[in-house]
Amino acid sequence: MANHIRYVIDAYTTSTFTPNDIQRRLPIKLDQDVRINKRGHRVITITFRTPEDQRILGCGEIDEILLGLGISAFRIIISRVITYEIEGGVIGSSAGGTGSYAYTKKPDVSLLIAVLSGVAGYLVGSTVERVEKILKVCRKRNGIWENLSENE
């Protein structure tokens, strides 16, 4: 179990780039490779994770980095997540002051226990992440970034 910062970026693109291109341009140390999900003809979702002690990038800063690759971000969500390893890991939760934990070497059983106990937020590779707190939500309208989160 570890704490991380998760970035989820929805963007438009017409260029051909690789996750390594993005990873090389980011000015921070990543704790996981950059992943790209294609959602439509020109719409993609880029996601990556950093250790909790890393500097949190601003929405404008992320957009500026991506524009150099021909990617135009339109929504960015930055959140603090707790990461659980599935295989051979301990999955736990607490409800009403009582905790429950389970240990198993079977990933599908671990995931089922996590989901039923309310731990799982979403599955990323061989880990399950639960959102602890949404730090920032930004949206670009007419070329200007709007902060939609209530924390700032």
Which of the two residues, 117 and 30, has the higher pLDDT score? 30
- The percent of residues in the chain predicted with pLDDT above 70, rounded, is 70
Distance CA 96, CA 103 (A): 21
pLDDT tens track for 82-135: 887 765 444 444 444 444 444 444 445 544 555 554 444 555 556 677 888 889
What does pLDDT average to over the chain? 76
> What are the structural domains of the chain?
1-88+103-145 (3.30.2130)
Closest CA to 114 of 133, 95, 130: 130
Residue 68 burial class via C-beta count within 10 angstroms: exposed 0-12, middle 13-18, buried 19 and up: exposed
Lowest mean pLDDT of 29-33, 122-126, 139-143, name the range: 122-126
- pLDDT higher than 70, residue 75: yes
